[in-house]
Amino acid sequence: MRIAVVGARGQLGAAIVHECAASHDVVAFGRADLDASDEAAVTAAMARVKPDVIVNGAAFTDVDGAEDHAVAALNANAFAVRALARAARTHGATLVHYSTDFVFDGTATEAYTESVRPNPQSVYAASKLLGEWFATDAPRAYVLRVESLFGRAPGAGPAKGSVAGILNTLRSGGVAKVFEDRTISPSYVPDAARATRQLIESRASAGLYHCVNSGSCTWLEFAKALAQQLGVEPRFDAVRMADVKLRASRPRFCALSNEKIRATGIEMPAWQDALRRYVETLRDEVAHQVADRQ
């Protein structure tokens, strides 16, 4: 299959390129190659490539920044998706688009399924929900909600996000500030990328899927498990959401049920297993750096 990956230098976009390159004809567009919110540029790029599948890794992901830059967030997270969906329609292509747990308000007490009505509480969340709706303009669309991504593929831009922040603090011997009352279902980037490839290849029913590792934990539990796997002292400043003033509101409880994607035959390993594999890649990275220096 010819797969066009947009936003190909992002954390997830780079992992999709890495995952699919061996078995498919992948055409990767970084932001410098294609601004996904420029509809004319999207139309021209897709007319050149004639993809069977378009995977959209592009997004405005600065959750707090979106509160002050609503138009930029809407352009990247909603109107770009509309442009990609229209291009998918022109070429009869499948569109894969990613969304977020933030579409929920976080007041649930059990894992959210795909059938629960979203209730976004921030500009970022609302722009992502619009993107979910625009994606369905494509003749076949997979909308995959991921959450708290961790892991980095070759070709990705600089690591960002909460896990990278905690990791850097722990490695430098600092004290990481983490929420003790925010519940998540973490998503290991290579697992989300593999699930994406399997969905495309299996031609599973199009639609909305939660694409996260199995299980859930608080950020503090996740950070403690990370410290344990790394073999470093677990030095944390555990904070409660009510005590931290953030520009954008975050959902407090956002465990996502991945029963629907698992029912298609796709395995979503437990987050603890994913974390163990992630830390192994970090050890390999350090070993290579040491070998290079010798």
Please give the residue ranges that form the binding site for ligand NAP (CB under 6 A).
7, 9-13, 31, 34-37, 57-61, 76, 80, 98, 100, 128, 146-149, 157, 161
Nearer to ligand NAP, 17 or 93 (CB): 17
Nearest approach in angstroms of CB 190 to ligand NAP is 12
Nearer to ligand NAP, 139 or 161 (CB): 161
Nearer to ligand NAP, 258 or 290 (CB): 258
Task: Judge contact between 8 and 30, C-beta under 8 A.
Answer: yes
Nearest approach in angstroms of CB 231 to ligand NAP is 25
Nearest residue by C-beta to ligand NAP? 10
Question: How far does CA 107 lie from the centroid of its chain?
Answer: 22
Residue at token pair 């995977």: 55
Query: Checking DSSP bridges between strand 183-184 and strand 217-218, what pairing results, if any?
Result: antiparallel
Nearer to ligand NAP, 106 or 290 (CB): 106
Buried b (16+ CB within 10 A) or exposed e, 216-242: bbbbbbbbbbbbebbeeeeebeebebe
Contacts of 234 (CB under 8 A, 6+ apart): 170, 223, 224, 227, 228
What span, in angstroms and rounded, lies between the C-alpha atoms of 268 and 213?
A: 5
Nearest approach in angstroms of CB 211 to ligand NAP is 10
Nearer to ligand NAP, 24 or 160 (CB): 160
Query: What number of CA atoms fall less than 13 Å from residue 202's CA on the CB side?
Result: 16
Task: Judge contact between 31 and 56, C-beta under 8 A.
Answer: no
Nearer to ligand NAP, 60 or 104 (CB): 60
Nearest approach in angstroms of CB 76 to ligand NAP is 4
DSSP conformation class of 206: P
Nearest approach in angstroms of CB 233 to ligand NAP is 26
Question: How far does CA 233 lie from the centroid of its chain?
Answer: 28
Nearest approach in angstroms of CB 35 to ligand NAP is 5
Nearer to ligand NAP, 98 or 222 (CB): 98
Nearest approach in angstroms of CB 138 to ligand NAP is 15
What span, in angstroms and rounded, lies between the C-alpha atoms of 145 and 254?
A: 11
